[in-house]
């Protein structure tokens, strides 16, 4: 997607690769075409006022679906054509594309059709391909499959328009916005016809359905819509008939859905007495990014080349809806914590999987090496705490005594009493072999050897002062592993790897196996909370874990000036940014490759209002931060410099580690392969050009 100019509206979803699409469920009366047309018109106007670009209505919505043999009455069919005329005329002043269901007679056959209407004309007509004739369905009594059509064009109310199941509608003026259409039963077929539309480039797939309701059917059609959206890496709009269809033999729940790449982003209320119009801002740029990365998707395009090349592309002009005063608010939920689900059941499942991936990966490494001892450094902070409880559970799984875990806390010049006490309490609670090594004497020897001013009593707290301590700790661990015949378990997390917040070489950057390397800081915090809440260990261990969670995140390498040493003197987040915000940036930069300005926009939508959305468990109200746009822009610039320019050389030689989440890892053997000599220029320039320095007063 081309970069925005400074004059474009930063606050409009349409500036960031989104398109607003929706589904409508109007009231209908069986065979009362004028009434049905009027209800459709009203929802069309509503959709236009909300800035939608595409709206899908139910199957046969102008006549109602449940007409049975009334579909063979010319009076009904003529009224439908009159209704289409009226909708086409009204659409001239409305911005969206409308997909309306209608029975239409061509070639002495009756087809169940989707009429594609935009700006005063019919762009095309798509007939239903698969006609159900089983159980409660007898559609073949009235309708003919689109496969039986002879013509590729039909005359509709005085105009020749494209006709067929092979149409893809492509917008000129809205990047990556193209769509394919199918009708109801088409989704139930082994290969839904919009599969080929997706392979031909359609990013949005629409299904006009009536879809009566029986017990259990809602879950199944939801699964079908989710699966089709995911397989096709597309948005999927599914409309269903609601209030007013005949109840002679069937019932209707009006359940309409909007999916985006297997994730539901909008849906109607089932069994509602009211008409409904629901919509979401679909991320077209993300869909295109995903397809570009998925080699199997593009292999499928090649495999079905003949069908893909046979697709007819219908171009139409579309204007981006005018941004109202105050701007559009993004109409979809943007999670503040993309690595941590807010819904309790999904969050529990995510934590369960993450924890067990780490445990079983470490177990495999110990089995394959024949090593039955582990060596691990314990600081009293989050990462080493989580690595230790993973290691403890791994030894339980392998039937090895926890005493075989040799844990070392190694206080230095800035170690606080709080973290030191927490480290000892955790080691004691878990029953591992607990040790303490004061690294200050060996650090002083190093200072003397290299001529550092601190060896002469001068308070010089530079990067050398910090890294000597980190290096001494890791050097001790490796030599202890030699001495004890153990494996050094690494503790550094994904967030630290992204920001380069690790001492390179023989420092906390290195280990024999790192269980945390693809787990971001925000997820580690919630994993520890999950371990407490799910009682993975005894009450005493949970108590210590809770104390560790409440401690400031700090490298503890520089002592406080005149402080008492009870608490950490340094704040990691004051230097490299809030982890909750930097993890947000990390996810969208690495998972989707978004432009910095889009990442800033998403962060603004997620974080600028504390009242918007929900928060995961364990985030107290006084910890629920708000980040305004200038602050987001500033910390994102820090992330871009550190990630793209200053830190890749560290990631190019990280230890083995299991990939935990779909958000990815930064292993050079897995998700992320990048040159160590890259520059951050293009990302920083794009951020500076396209993100305002001052926040708009919307």
Q: What is the dihedral of CA 454, 460, 464, 466, to 10 degrees?
A: 100
Q: Could you say which of 59, 260, 472, 580 is catalytic?
A: 59
Long-range contacts of 297-306 (CB under 8 A, 24+ apart): 297/199, 297/233, 300/199, 301/199, 301/200, 304/196, 304/199
Long-range contacts of residues 605-613, Cβ cutoff 8 Å, at least 24 apart: 605/329, 605/330, 605/334, 606/334, 606/335, 606/336, 607/336, 607/581, 607/632, 608/632, 608/695, 613/333, 613/334, 613/335, 613/336, 613/342
DSSP codes, 395-407 = HHHHT--GGGEEE
Active site residue: 113, 128, 170, 275, which one?
128
59 among known catalytic residues: yes
The DSSP secondary-structure symbol of 516 reads T
Structure-block tokens of residue 147: 């496969």
Candidates 184, 232, 351, 443; catalytic one: 184
650 is catalytic: no
The pair of structure tokens assigned to 364 is: 């495999």
The DSSP output letter for 148 is G
Beta sheet of 374-377, edge-to-edge order: 433-436, 405-409, 374-377, 487-490, 513-514
Q: Which residues pair with 54 in a beta bridge?
A: 21, 97
Give the CA distances from residue 253 to residues 28, 136, 271, in Å, rounded to whole numbers and listed in that order.
Answer: 13, 16, 4
CB 491 within 8 A of CB 516: yes
* CA 106/CA 95 separation, integer angstroms: 29
Taking the C-alpha atoms of residue 309 and residue 315, their distance in angstroms, rounded to an integer, is 16
In angstroms, the CA 557 to CA 555 distance is 6
d(CA 614, CA 333): 10
In the structure, how many helices (H) and strands (E) does the chain have?
Answer: 21, 20
DSSP alpha helix (H) spans, 50-185? 74-91
Look at strands 487-490 and 374-377 and give their pairing.
Answer: parallel
> How many whole angstroms separate alpha carbon 565 and alpha carbon 323?
55
DSSP state of 320: P
**Which tokens is 67 given?**
């007409």
- With contact defined as beta carbons under 8 Å apart, do 59 and 210 qualify? yes
- C-alpha to C-alpha distance for 259 and 240, rounded to whole angstroms: 14
Backbone conformation region of residue 135, classed left if phi is above 0, alpha if psi is from -120 to 50, else beta: left
The answer to whether the CB of 597 falls within 8 A of the CB of 577 is: no
Residue pointed to by tokens 């914590």: 337
Other CB atoms closer than 10 Å to residue 136's CB: what's the count?
9
Would you call 154 exposed, middle or buried from its count of C-beta atoms within 10 A (0-12, 13-18, 19+)?
buried
Long-range contacts of 132-137 (CB under 8 A, 24+ apart): 132/184, 132/185, 132/188, 136/212, 136/249, 136/250, 137/185
Q: Please, are residues 244 and 64 in contact by the beta-carbon 8 Å criterion? A: yes
Give the number of other CB atoms < 10 A from CB of residue 315.
11
* Helix, strand, coil percent values for the chain (each to nearest 5): 40, 15, 40
Give the number of other CB atoms < 10 A from CB of residue 594.
Answer: 23
Is there a catalytic annotation at residue 659? no
Catalytically active residues are 59, 128, 184
């Amino acid at each position: 997607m081309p970069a925005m100019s400074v004059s474009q509206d930063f606050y409009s979803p349409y500036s960031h690769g989104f398109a607003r699409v929706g589904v409508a469920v109007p009231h209908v009366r069986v065979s009362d075409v004028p009434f049905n047309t009027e209800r459709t018109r009203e929802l069309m106007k509503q959709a236009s006022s909300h800035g939608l670009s595409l709206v899908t209505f139910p199957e046969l919505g102008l006549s109602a679906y449940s007409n049975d043999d009334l579909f063979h009455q010319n009076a009904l069919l003529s009224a439908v054509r009159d209704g289409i005329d009226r909708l086409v005329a009204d659409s001239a002043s409305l911005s969206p594309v409308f997909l309306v269901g209608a029975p239409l007679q061509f070639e002495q056959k009756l087809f169940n059709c989707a009429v594609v209407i935009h700006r005063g004309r019919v762009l095309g007509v798509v007939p239903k391909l698969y006609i159900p004739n089983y159980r409660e369905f007898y559609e073949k009594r009235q309708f003919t499959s689109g496969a039986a059509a002879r013509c590729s064009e039909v005359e509709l109310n005085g105009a020749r328009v494209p006709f067929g199941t092979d149409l893809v509608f492509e917008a000129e003026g809205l990047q990556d916005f193209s769509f394919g259409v199918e009708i109801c039963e088409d989704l139930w077929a082994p290969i839904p016809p919009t599969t080929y539309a997706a392979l031909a480039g359609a990013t949005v797939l629409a299904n006009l359905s009536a879809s009566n309701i029986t017990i259990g059917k809602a879950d199944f059609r939801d699964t079908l819509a989710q699966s089709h959206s995911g397989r096709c890496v597309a948005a999927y709009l599914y409309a269903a008939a609601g209030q007013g269809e005949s109840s002679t033999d069937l019932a209707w729940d009006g359940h309409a859905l909007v999916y985006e790449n297997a994730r539901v982003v909008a849906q109607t209320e089932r069994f509602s007495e009211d008409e409904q119009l629901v919509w979401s801002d679909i991320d077209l740029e993300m869909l295109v990014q995903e397809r570009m990365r998925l080699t199997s998707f593009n292999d499928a395009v090649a495999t079905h080349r003949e069908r893909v090349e046979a697709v007819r592309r219908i171009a139409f002009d579309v204007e981006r809806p005018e941004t109202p005063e105050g701007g559009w608010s993004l109409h979809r939920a943007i999670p503040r914590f993309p690595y941590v689900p807010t819904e309790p059941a999904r969050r529990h499942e995510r934590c369960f999987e993450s924890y067990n991936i780490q445990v079983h990966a470490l177990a495999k490494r110990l089995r394959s090496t024949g090593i039955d001892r582990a060596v691990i450094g314990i600081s009293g902070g989050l990462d080493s705490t989580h690595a230790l409880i993973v290691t403890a559970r791994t030894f339980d799984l392998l039937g090895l005594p926890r005493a075989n875990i040799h844990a070392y806390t190694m206080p230095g010049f800035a170690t606080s009493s709080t973290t030191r006490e927490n480290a000892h309490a955790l080691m004691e609670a878990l029953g591992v072999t607990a040790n303490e090594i004061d690294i200050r004497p060996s650090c002083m020897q190093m200072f003397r050897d290299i001529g550092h001013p601190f060896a002469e009593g001068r308070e010089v707290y530079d990067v050398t002062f910090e890294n000597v301590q980190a290096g001494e700790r890791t050097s001790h661990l490796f030599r202890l592993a030699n001495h004890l015949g153990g494996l050094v378990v690494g503790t550094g997390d994904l967030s630290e790897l992204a920001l380069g917040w690790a001492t390179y070489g023989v420092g906390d950057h290195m280990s024999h196996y790192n269980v945390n390397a693809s787990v971001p800081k925000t997820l580690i915090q919630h994993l520890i909370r999950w371990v407490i809440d799910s009682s993975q260990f005894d009450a005493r261990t949970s108590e210590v874990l809770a104390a560790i969670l409440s401690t400031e995140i700090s490298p503890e390498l520089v002592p406080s000036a005149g402080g008492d040493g009870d608490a950490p003197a340094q704040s990691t987040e004051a230097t490299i940014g809030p982890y909750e915000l930097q993890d947000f940036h990390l996810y969208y930069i690495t998972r989707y490759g978004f432009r910095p300005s889009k990442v800033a926009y998403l962060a603004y939508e997620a974080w600028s209002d504390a009242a918007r959305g929900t928060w995961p468990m364990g985030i107290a109200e006084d910890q629920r931060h708000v980040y305004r746009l200038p602050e987001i822009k500033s910390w994102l610039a820090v992330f871009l410099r550190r990630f793209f320019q200053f830190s890749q050389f560290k990631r190019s030689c990280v230890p083995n580690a299991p990939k935990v989440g779909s958000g990815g890892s930064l292993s050079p053997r897995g998700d992320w392969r990048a040159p160590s000599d890259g520059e951050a220029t293009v990302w920083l320039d794009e951020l500076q050009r396209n993100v305002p320095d001052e926040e708009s007063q919307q």
